[in-house]
Structure 1
Amino acid sequence: MQYRATVAAWFLLLCGAVYGQLQPTTPARYRRLPSLREQAAILDGWRDERLATLPALLTKYRIDAWLISQREYAEDTLWWSIKGATEYAPHRRTVLLFHKNTSSLAGQPNPLRWVDNTGAVWPELRRVLEAYDPHRIALNTDKYIAAGGGLHVGEYEALAEELGERWMERTVNEPLLAVEYVATRVPGQLAYYRDLQEITWALIEEAFSEKVISPGITTTEDVEWWYREKMLLLNVTTWNHPRVSVITPESFPGWSGTKDVIREGDLLHVDFGITAMGMNTDVQHMAYVLRTSQGETDAPQGLKEGLKRANRMQDIVLENMAAGKTGNEVLTESLTQMEVERITGQVYCHPIGDWGHAPGAVMGFTNLPDFVPVLGELRILPNTYYSIELYAYSFIAERNETLRFRVEENVYWNATTERWHFVRGRQERFHLINAHAGHTPSIVVQS
């Protein structure tokens, strides 16, 4: 027994060294983000760092020029990752030409930009192409990958008409340009992403407490709208409406929460993320409503074992997840290891960053548990962020039922260790809601 305990202790230490901090030891705090004016300068700096990588990226994919044409209200998907912080739409018609900073365009702005609603852009663009003479011109026309398919049909027709056969014959579809550009993070983002993660955790810790929930009165929808109102006070927004659920054997990951009155003994779940500083979080945590009327002071052991299974699944994914592998390779290896360890569940991990569901390799979908066409065949990129999203089945003896334990945490690629680390940590203990803790429950936003 002493030997097994020692091995277990070393295993936990190893996991902490490999994956970064696990369960945080202190409560999350609401972090104060820079003023909006300061944020704009920071965001533009990150944008410039990313744009500076484009000549090398074009060379990697054997592209001479990357042409983007869009109109107001019909933006190319890529626009949101290359615009200035104070730009909210591409005005009139906005045409961008990214280049490799060679030949006639050496030292010119990258991208070259035209904003026009008269048609004057077209002869100027043709003149630039004549001088530069690119042989492979990328257009965002991919039909499978959204980040590389943002060119609207009308704009494609306008390009074909104005550029003519000579230049259109040189156009190619290379979606990995957009995937890699949008997915790759720059070093300065991580410190602020940690703040966003802590804000996300702080929201969950407050929402899943007696400060917000009064069993028998508060509904799951009440908690969802508390999140929305509270985020406004923190000057952050969200990319998806918070989904709060009471977990039952029938509940399954979906696009909405449940509509339940929260009661003692309920196992609660939330799935949501915040948006700020051009980045997004995506987190799923669980809470238990103590049966304080019966003297309960902790969650039943069966529930704790279920959470441990889900944590072990996170470990398995991260053990198999290496840059260069395809998403489907990681998925297959993870499912194989789960079978060896007799863990039943489902994996559906995805990149995160500029978007909540960012471009890049995915590892499973809820409706595609074993193999994902196209997106699953992409290779995992380093210097990116991922959401490790999954659930484990576990039988709960105290309830005589099997439940899904649904967890999700964000990780980042550490170039020094060449491993993935949790941004803040992960949930290894339930948020406990004590109905008789002496607090005044409220579904009104607290200042």
Structure 2
Amino acid sequence: MRLLLTALTVFAFVPCLAYGQWHPEKPAQYHELPPLREQARLFNEWKDERIARIPALLKKYDIDAWLLSMREHNEDPLWWSLKNATQFAPHRRTVLLFHTNTSSLAGHPNPLVWVDNTGAVWDELRWILVQYAPQRIALNTDRHIAFGGGLAVGEWMELYEQLPQEWMKAVNQPMLAVEYIAARVPGQLSYYRKMQETVWAMIQEAFSARVIEPNITTTVDVEWWFREKIQTQNFSTWVHPRVSVITPQSFPGWAGTEDIIQEGDLLHVDFGVTAMSMNTDTQHMAYVLRTSEGESDAPEGHKEGIKKANRMQDIVLSQMQAGKTGNAVLQASLRQMKAENISGQIYCHPIGDYAHAPGAVMGFTNLPEYVPVLGELPILPNTWYSIELYAYHLVPERNETLRFRLEETVHWVDDQVGWKFVHGRQEALHLIDWQVPSSDGDFFVQS
């Protein structure tokens, strides 16, 4: 058994607040990720800065110590936001004890970490707790919030047998995990912005003549093009891309449609990538021009649908104030939509270490007006959110009401500015003009 007493280093970062807007005349660019060794260095810096905030977080919730215990292959979800870059599993039994840097533990590493498969950890943990004498110990035992409920039943039983009963009258405070994982550090934003622009560049290329030829290319073909492209960019896929031809009936949820793409189709993609332990989640729409008929722009009804979805984004962001619950934001947004005669659905969520990260949600597709538990959590500053929604719009050219589905990520700036889009938002359809050659003989990508 080994007690790891490596001190934590705290790094300061300067916030990066540049704000990307929609620039149709300036297509998004692909960005290369740093070498793996540099990614690991950055990851560890960000992790150290985040962990250094935990003592203040414990004091906020009047907690003296936070105890995590897990086994290899059965890790607490919090582990992935605490580990070093070169760790890929919590080996043997891993026990972590966070404290408030007070009393007898002042000056000790935070957390104290044990890696053990002999049971010797318990003698040392008991000795530490006797010296520290915490009054309120938090365990991750929440029944409703996954990120606050990562203590396995077997680990709880082991703790119950090994620790004095007064310490097992533990506090369930899931907001410790929620706030720790959700909060971003400034150094992450510049890299996340490059990730998001790369996602836009993928979408621009996918929704172009480079990839799509009407009457031949299928939506499934485009999905697998995304998967291959994600791989070439050294990203991983957090969810399989879902590419759909939009019809009044199409709202496929966890799958795209299986269609041969035709001229005049309205297309949609929903996908996310993972890199540097950060996730994206993006939805854009495209229109396949009727090039054979001389069409050079999307129908006005399609353009108005995008504008209506953009207005819904504005409404949600105007209501997203730190401290308000997700349900309060959702219901205020729905009232404003009704006042403006806009129909649609909102289902926004936090994003960061996880694509569906901990924190307040604003609607689910199956819970459009009120979400128990997660909807009652407060909106947190210093976080990122996916603004995910759709607007219903009657398209006169088709005499059909369609869903215009958009999703973009926003980041918190400060109390004065509030939220801003990481790389802008889609304000015009990607246009697929499959018969327009570029000067070098290849097809010109219109976006």
- How far the C-alpha of 1:233 sits from its partner, in A, is 1.0
- How far the C-alpha of 1:441 sits from its partner, in A, is 9.3
- Provide the TM-score with structure 2 as the length reference: 0.93
Q: Which has the higher helix share?
A: 1
SS of the residue 1:22 aligns to: coil
Partners in 1 of 2:219 and 2:114 — Cα distance? Answer: 49
Instruction: Tell me, yes or no, if the aligned pair for 1:139 and 1:173 is still in contact at 8 Å.
Output: yes
SS of the residue 1:226 aligns to: helix
Partners in 2 of 1:441 and 1:230 — Cα distance? Answer: 19
Partners in 1 of 2:55 and 2:102 — Cα distance? Answer: 9
Q: Which residue of 1 aligns with 2:64?
A: 64
Change (3 A) 1:19 1:143: farther
Instruction: Tell me, yes or no, if the aligned pair for 1:244 and 1:268 is still in contact at 8 Å.
Output: yes
Q: Which residue of 1 aligns with 2:369?
A: 370
Partners in 2 of 1:224 and 1:75 — Cα distance? Answer: 32
Q: Which residue of 2 aligns with 1:48?
A: 48
SS of the residue 1:316 aligns to: helix
Aligned length: 424
- How far the C-alpha of 1:159 sits from its partner, in A, is 0.8
- Structure 1 segments of 4 or more deviating over 3 A? 18-22, 438-442
Q: Which residue of 1 aligns with 2:212?
A: 213
Per-residue CA distance 1:311-349 (angstroms, 9 max, x = gap): 000000011111111101111110000000000000000
Query: Tell me, which stretches of 5 or more residues in structure 2 are unaligned?
Result: 1-16
Partners in 1 of 2:60 and 2:159 — Cα distance? Answer: 25
Q: Which residue of 2 aligns with 1:335?
A: 334
**What does 1:85-164 align with in structure 2 at a 5 Å threshold?**
85-164=85-164
Partners in 1 of 2:110 and 2:250 — Cα distance? Answer: 50
| Aligned residue type for 2:123 | P
| Aligned residue type for 1:414 | V
- How far the C-alpha of 1:164 sits from its partner, in A, is 3.4
Moved more, 416-425 or 384-393: 416-425
Q: Which residue of 1 aligns with 2:29?
A: 29
Instruction: Tell me, yes or no, if the aligned pair for 1:19 and 1:420 is still in contact at 8 Å.
Output: no
- Provide the TM-score with structure 1 as the length reference: 0.93
Query: Tell me, which stretches of 5 or more residues in structure 1 are unaligned?
Result: 1-17, 443-447
Q: Which residue of 2 aligns with 1:78?
A: 78
SS of the residue 1:172 aligns to: coil
Per-residue CA distance 1:173-208 (angstroms, 9 max, x = gap): 000000000000011111111001101101101111
- How far the C-alpha of 1:21 sits from its partner, in A, is 4.2
Per-residue CA distance 1:250-297 (angstroms, 9 max, x = gap): 011501111111111110000011111111111100000111011111
Q: Which residue of 2 aligns with 1:295?
A: 294
**RMSD over aligned Cα, in angstroms?**
1.5
Instruction: Tell me, yes or no, if the aligned pair for 1:288 and 1:430 is still in contact at 8 Å.
Output: yes
- How far the C-alpha of 1:309 sits from its partner, in A, is 0.3
Partners in 2 of 1:146 and 1:280 — Cα distance? Answer: 18
SS of the residue 2:240 aligns to: coil
Instruction: Tell me, yes or no, if the aligned pair for 1:210 and 1:441 is still in contact at 8 Å.
Output: no
Per-residue CA distance 1:79-125 (angstroms, 9 max, x = gap): 00000011110001100000001111111111100001111111111
Aligned: 1:268 with 2:267: yes
| Aligned residue type for 2:379 | I
Partners in 1 of 2:264 and 2:162 — Cα distance? Answer: 66
- How far the C-alpha of 1:167 sits from its partner, in A, is 1.6
Partners in 2 of 1:24 and 1:138 — Cα distance? Answer: 48
Partners in 2 of 1:333 and 1:74 — Cα distance? Answer: 40
Change (3 A) 1:441 1:401: farther
| Aligned residue type for 1:42 | L
**Percent identity for Structure 1 against Structure 2:** 67
**What does 1:157-172 align with in structure 2 at a 5 Å threshold?**
157-169=157-169, 171-172=170-171
Instruction: Tell me, yes or no, if the aligned pair for 1:273 and 1:282 is still in contact at 8 Å.
Output: yes
| Aligned residue type for 1:37 | R
Per-residue CA distance 1:358-413 (angstroms, 9 max, x = gap): 00001000000000111000000000000000000000110010000000000000
| Aligned residue type for 1:304 | K
| Aligned residue type for 1:288 | Y
**What does 1:162-311 align with in structure 2 at a 5 Å threshold?**
162-169=162-169, 171-311=170-310
Partners in 1 of 2:326 and 2:20 — Cα distance? Answer: 25
Instruction: Tell me, yes or no, if the aligned pair for 1:96 and 1:114 is still in contact at 8 Å.
Output: yes
Q: Which residue of 1 aligns with 2:348?
A: 349
Instruction: Tell me, yes or no, if the aligned pair for 1:346 and 1:369 is still in contact at 8 Å.
Output: yes
Partners in 2 of 1:248 and 1:418 — Cα distance? Answer: 38
Partners in 1 of 2:77 and 2:180 — Cα distance? Answer: 12
- How far the C-alpha of 1:19 sits from its partner, in A, is 12
Per-residue CA distance 1:135-168 (angstroms, 9 max, x = gap): 1110001010011011111111111111131321
Partners in 1 of 2:21 and 2:377 — Cα distance? Answer: 28
| Aligned residue type for 1:408 | E
Q: Which residue of 2 aligns with 1:12?
A: none
SS of the residue 1:240 aligns to: strand
| Aligned residue type for 2:199 | T
Moved more, 22-31 or 192-201: 22-31
Instruction: Tell me, yes or no, if the aligned pair for 1:213 and 1:441 is still in contact at 8 Å.
Output: no
Change (3 A) 1:127 1:162: same
SS of the residue 2:164 aligns to: helix
Partners in 2 of 1:373 and 1:254 — Cα distance? Answer: 21
Partners in 2 of 1:62 and 1:381 — Cα distance? Answer: 19
| Aligned residue type for 1:56 | A
| Aligned residue type for 1:104 | S
SS of the residue 2:171 aligns to: strand
Change (3 A) 1:416 1:368: closer
Q: Which residue of 2 aligns with 1:39?
A: 39
SS of the residue 2:104 aligns to: helix
Moved more, 283-292 or 247-256: 247-256
- How far the C-alpha of 1:37 sits from its partner, in A, is 0.3
| Aligned residue type for 1:264 | E
Partners in 2 of 1:157 and 1:369 — Cα distance? Answer: 39
Per-residue CA distance 1:55-83 (angstroms, 9 max, x = gap): 00000001000000001110001000000
Instruction: Tell me, yes or no, if the aligned pair for 1:348 and 1:388 is still in contact at 8 Å.
Output: yes
Partners in 2 of 1:406 and 1:357 — Cα distance? Answer: 18
Instruction: Tell me, yes or no, if the aligned pair for 1:65 and 1:99 is still in contact at 8 Å.
Output: yes
